[in-house]
Chains A and B, each alone.
Chain A
Amino acid sequence: MTLSRPVGYRSAPDGTHPPLDHPDYRSTAPRAPSQPPIVLPHRLTEVTGPLLAGERIGERDHDLTTQHDGEALGQRIVVFGRVCDSDGRAVPDTLVEIWQANAAGRYAHPGDNWSAPLDPNFTGGGRVVTDSAGNYSFTTIKPGAYPWSNHHNAWRPSHIHFSLFGRAFTQRLVTQMYFPDDPLFAQDPIFNSVPDPKARQRLISTFDLAATRPGWALAYRFDIVLRGREQTPFEEPHD
């Protein structure tokens, strides 16, 4: 049977995304499905998705340092970049959500029992929408590293959680941004769950001196690449 189908989205090359079953990260054991997934050819439900532009953005959502009466403690940083697809096309008007620990490595979350201090002036949640060229920017503080119970003396490298919608259900991505040269990378099973070392490097932001705000904040660039469209039949390369 021939079914009319819209042009779908290209799969990431092998080794880009972590396997669900990754024994070094212990929590995967009871949660990773045991059966292989069944291929879902992209149809209308998959090539469409929620277009969440301005309606989700509050006035202070782009600046995590000024969401309370006082200023957040820690090293002020600008985290910015461009969201595009794997063809390099900008992804405009798309919602970017972030969350992170405070400068001491503590989350403002009832489930975080680590003894590092909370900062009453820092919640750690932010939201922006990309502009027409796919650019986004947050002002925040550099999150601290924190210990967790995965293995003996386990520490998460400093990171910021990122969530993106793109333009289609298939483009949805949740990831984590890391900072350059973190000595904790080697022992972190979540960072190292990405099989391809080159793909892993794409999770690390780059320090950008030109984008710093003199006398105010350092700057890190984190570009994000979502899946691109498959070629239409006319453009299919011959092999």
Chain B
Amino acid sequence: MTETQLGPTPSQTVGPFLHIGLTWPDGADVVPEGTPGAIRIGGVLYDGNGDPVPDGLVETWQADPEGRFDHPDGEASRGAPLVPGFRGFGRCATGADGRWEVRTVKPGAVAEQAPHIDVSVFARGLLDRVVTRIYFPDEEVANARDPLLAEVPAARVPALIARPTGLGELRFDIRLRGEGETVFFQI
């Protein structure tokens, strides 16, 4: 029964014109405007020359503030949304200056893991998405115990932790290649 596996469809690049198919007017709103406690997380997507990538797309997926996912496989984590209009998912194409940003709320801890946001990056020149995670700077204790961060060489961990840049504002630059390269994960 389990021996006949179908071969998965291969990945291909989004190309430079992804905006025609992959942008939504409200794509960057993980939570609606005016949500109490909302934060803005964003940064610049850089290539290996240190140049901003103007034709990329960043997508985010995260738990709600209680660490729950509204999904059949979310196990006991399902429940009525604590934050009205919370979607868990955000997508933002990068601008001419490589900038992207989503409006969200900080996720709760998920089981033994520190609060985090899963991130996919797509761009012309990327034949497959690359995946990283955003961790939070005010979670030192939880970050120190996080099972995934424990697998990352200590010198590279800071690249996975967003930086506070103002009230309710976090910066998370993504460097595809070279100095300060973001840590990418194989999923």
A binds B: yes
- Would you list which residues of chain B between 66 and 113 have a CB under 8 Å from chain A? 69-75, 77, 87-89, 110-113
- Shortest distance between the CB of A87 and any CB in chain B (Å): 7
- Shortest distance between the CB of A168 and any CB in chain B (Å): 7
Residues of A contacting B3 in the complex (Cβ-Cβ under 8 angstroms): 237
Residues of B contacting A112 in the complex (Cβ-Cβ under 8 angstroms): 16-17
Within 8 Å of chain A (Cβ to Cβ): is B62?
Answer: yes
Given contacts A17-B11, A200-B10, contact A99 B62 (CB under 8 A): no
Interface range for B:
35 or more
Inter-chain CB contacts under 8 Å: number: 242
Residues of A contacting B69 in the complex (Cβ-Cβ under 8 angstroms): 44-45, 48
How many chain A residues have a CB neighbour from B under 8 Å? Answer: 87
From A72-80, A128-136, A190-198, A212-220, give the one contacting chain B: A190-198
CB < 8 Å: which of A19, A49, A124 contacts B20?
Answer: A124
Could you tell me the distance between the alpha carbons of A42 and B88 in the complex, rounded to whole angstroms?
18
Which secondary structure dominates chain B's binding surface? loop
Nearest B residue to A15 via CB reads B10
Given contacts A6-B73, A99-B22, A237-B2, contact A30 B8 (CB under 8 A): no
From B33-41, B165-173, B178-186, give the one contacting chain A: B178-186
Within 8 Å of chain A (Cβ to Cβ): is B135?
Answer: no
Nearest B residue to A123 via CB reads B20
Within 8 Å of chain B (Cβ to Cβ): is A211?
Answer: no
- Shortest distance between the CB of A30 and any CB in chain B (Å): 4
**Residue contact A16 to B4, C-beta cutoff 8 Å:** no
Could you tell me the distance between the alpha carbons of A35 and B153 in the complex, rounded to whole angstroms?
12
Within 8 Å of chain B (Cβ to Cβ): is A226?
Answer: yes
From A29, A172, A237, name the one whose CB has the most chain B CB atoms within 10 angstroms: A172
Residues of B contacting A13 in the complex (Cβ-Cβ under 8 angstroms): 7-8
Within 8 Å of chain B (Cβ to Cβ): is A38?
Answer: yes
Residues of B contacting A170 in the complex (Cβ-Cβ under 8 angstroms): 187
- Shortest distance between the CB of B88 and any CB in chain A (Å): 6
CB < 8 Å: which of A31, A86, A173, A200 contacts B126?
Answer: A31
**Residue contact B127 to A19, C-beta cutoff 8 Å:** yes
From A30, A111, A170, name the one whose CB has the most chain B CB atoms within 10 angstroms: A30
Nearest B residue to A168 via CB reads B73
**Residue contact B12 to A43, C-beta cutoff 8 Å:** no
Residues of B contacting A174 in the complex (Cβ-Cβ under 8 angstroms): 11-14, 122, 129
Could you tell me the distance between the alpha carbons of A216 and B167 in the complex, rounded to whole angstroms?
58
Could you tell me the distance between the alpha carbons of A44 and B20 in the complex, rounded to whole angstroms?
31
Could you tell me the distance between the alpha carbons of A35 and B53 in the complex, rounded to whole angstroms?
19
Residues of A contacting B118 in the complex (Cβ-Cβ under 8 angstroms): 45-46, 169
- Shortest distance between the CB of B114 and any CB in chain A (Å): 11
Within 8 Å of chain A (Cβ to Cβ): is B131?
Answer: yes
Interface, chain B (partner A; CB < 8 A): 2-22, 24, 47-49, 51, 53, 55, 59, 61-63, 69-75, 77, 87-89, 110-113, 116, 118, 120, 122-131, 133, 147-148, 151-152, 176-178, 181-187
